Amino acid sequence: MKTYMLWLVRLLVVVCMFAVSSVPMVYADAHEAGEEMAEEEASSVSGWFRTDTDSLGTQIWVGASHAPSFLGGLSLDTDIYVVDTFGELDVGLGISVIDSDSLSLSFLPMVGIGFDYGAPNGPSSLIAPQLFTYLTAGSIYFESWIQGFFNSMFDEEAGDSFYLRNFVLLSLNDTLSVGPQVEVTLDLTEGGLSSLAPGLRANVGYGENNTLGVFVGFETQKGDDETGITGRMTFVRTW
């Protein structure tokens, strides 16, 4: 009986020692698994920061693209746009049509709602429809913006407009890309063309994931006392 009890005690001691020693191993495995899941989750989200300075003033943009597996290759894109007391929230669905080393084509339809926080009256602008097109073919890059701005539904005295921006860039090297750009604004309230600005654009690499863009154009719908020289300076950071 004493021998039996002695072996039983020894067995319990061995089991306890094994259980205690396995806790750190289980914790380490769970920790590593958690890190792997976090890395997978982080890898499915890309983001960007942008600042523009043009005739509207200095504007701040921040956006992200979420690509969870359940969307089947699509991405959920969001961004906010801020200038002065105006803030805008945009939501869209990224559609990748072609994605290869030599050719890529994607579309991003979005809808946005804008608020003028200088006047506590709720929404002030519906920014829709919106369609952004991105095409890369070798050393050629094409980008197109199509945006509608409908303000009169919130303020009868505010106007509505339709905006287009298109540019094509040729990559001269790893740092510099140049090409033509044109911007058009149609006045939907009064009718007619309110702005047409063709010009040239240059994108300069400012280190990894940083781009400085400079657009110099000529506003054809200028006033008699204006030179018509216009443009924009842009900085974009992606991660």
Token pair in block for residue 3: 């021998």
Looking at residue 36, what is its pLDDT? 55
Looking at residue 109, what is its pLDDT? 98
Quick check: 89 and 82 in contact, CB under 8 A? no
Looking at residue 44, what is its pLDDT? 84
Give which of 71, 145, 69 is closest to 112, Cα–Cα: 145
Neighbours of 167 (CB within 10 A): 21
- pTM exceeds 0.85, yes or no: no
> What Rg, from alpha-carbon coordinates, does the chain have?
28
User: Which alpha helices (H) appear in the chain, and where do they start and end?
Assistant: 2-43
Cα–Cα distance list, 104 to 46, 143, 144 (Å) = 17, 12, 14
Looking at residue 26, what is its pLDDT? 41
Looking at residue 73, what is its pLDDT? 86
Looking at residue 69, what is its pLDDT? 85
Looking at residue 23, what is its pLDDT? 44
* Ordered mean pLDDT values, 10 residues apiece, the chain (239 residues): 45 46 47 53 82 97 94 94 98 97 97 95 97 98 98 95 98 98 97 97 97 98 96 98
Give residues with Cβ within 8 angstroms of 10, minimum separation 6. none
Looking at residue 39, what is its pLDDT? 52
